[in-house]
Amino acid sequence: MAILLLILSVAPVIFFGYLIYKRDFDKEPTASLVKLFFCGVGSTFLTLIITGIMTAVIPFFGYDTTSLNIIELIPYVFVGIALVEEFSKWIFVYKLEYNDREFNHLYDGIVYAAFVALGFACFENILYVFEFGIQTAIVRAFLAIPGHLCDGIMMGYYLSMAKLALINKNPSLSKKNIALSLIVPTIAHGLYDYLIYASEIYDIFMLFFLAFVIAFFAYAAKKVKQLSNNYYNLDPTYITERQRKQMMTSYYNYQGNAYNGVYPQPNNNYQQPGNVQYGQVPYNGQYGQTTYQNVVASRYCPNCGAVVTGKYCNECGKEV
């Protein structure tokens, strides 16, 4: 029975994670995604710590929801639950990935935040399912897990917009979008929880909840489609970790000649998705056109990705 409950807890997380991952045209390093997922698990403990401190300072946030009316539920849910949980996830995404050069496409922000959100949802789901059983697992697979995922999608969307604005030399818009990357998922999470708790007081709120869930899930799916189909390159000069490995594989598979300090030309042109003249047009709220720029990989440092002209890399100094 325990194994069945574990499978029911984890399976929907794997399913939704796969849906997000497969739409990423320039796949992120697997190690980074695993790290983000477990950071999401870690964010549940950060949530507990923050909640414990808030409850000690303001006992109101430790009350049972059944003792609150629909007005008292507003600060309890939006601050004590939604803001705390979304901040706990947001801080990991922002600190670990926002300034990472691997964050070089708009869809990357959604991937990063989604995997943190799924890590949080997975651990939380295991706790609930093992306590309340199979029925809870089924309900949460269709509501709670995609709910956390959609919160993560909105978080990642606005972080991507923040990077886009910053590269276009609009720091005020960038700061606004960073703030929205926390505010929007907090509001969405708060509405989700508030309507559930309020429906225990007045049944009519359940209809509002179902309408909100349908609209929010559809809107988040639209953002996934929008950014996953946009190949705008935030940093065309950077060769990602995955691309460097592909280039090295091409080199080591080369047959017939001893290494002479020059990488052989691969059979296929190295594809670097996105524009190579990004930033010339100020950001006006519209995304760039979908373009591809073919770049022939000749000789790059396997350690840092810089172009190499001699025996040693000019960037990291290592022999190549």
8 Å CB contact between 178 and 166 = no
pLDDT band at 207 (very low <50, low <70, confident <90, very high): very high
Q: How many Cβ atoms sit within 10 Å of the Cβ of residue 149?
A: 26
Identify the weakest region by mean pLDDT among 80-89, 127-136, 263-272.
263-272
Average pLDDT, the chain: 84
Q: What value does the mean pLDDT take over residues 249-276?
A: 48
Q: What value does the mean pLDDT take over residues 279-307?
A: 43
Domain ranges of the chain: 2-228, 239-320
Residues facing 39 on adjacent strands: none
pLDDT value at position 110? 98
User: Would you say residue 271 has pLDDT above 50?
Assistant: no
pLDDT band at 251 (very low <50, low <70, confident <90, very high): low
8 Å CB contact between 162 and 181 = yes
Distance CA 171, CA 294 (A): 31
Identify the weakest region by mean pLDDT among 72-86, 243-257, 280-294.
280-294
Q: Residue holding tokens 């006006």?
A: 284
Q: Is 222 exposed, middle or buried (0-12, 13-18, 19+ CB in 10 A)?
A: exposed
pLDDT tens, position by position, 52-61? 999 999 999 9
Distance CA 10, CA 141 (A): 9
pLDDT band at 244 (very low <50, low <70, confident <90, very high): confident
pLDDT value at position 236? 84
Q: What value does the mean pLDDT take over residues 14-39?
A: 95
pLDDT value at position 243? 77
**Which segment, 132-146, 231-245, 304-318, is predicted with the most confidence on average?**
132-146
pLDDT tens, position by position, 74-128? 999 999 999 999 999 999 999 999 999 899 999 999 999 999 999 999 999 999 9
The tokens describing 308, both together, are: 């190499």
pLDDT band at 318 (very low <50, low <70, confident <90, very high): low
pLDDT tens, position by position, 157-166? 999 999 999 9
User: Would you say residue 149 has pLDDT above 80?
Assistant: yes
User: Would you say residue 255 has pLDDT above 80?
Assistant: no
8 Å CB contact between 80 and 61 = yes
User: Would you say residue 284 has pLDDT above 70?
Assistant: no
Crossing angle (nearest 10°) for helices 2-22 and 144-167: 30
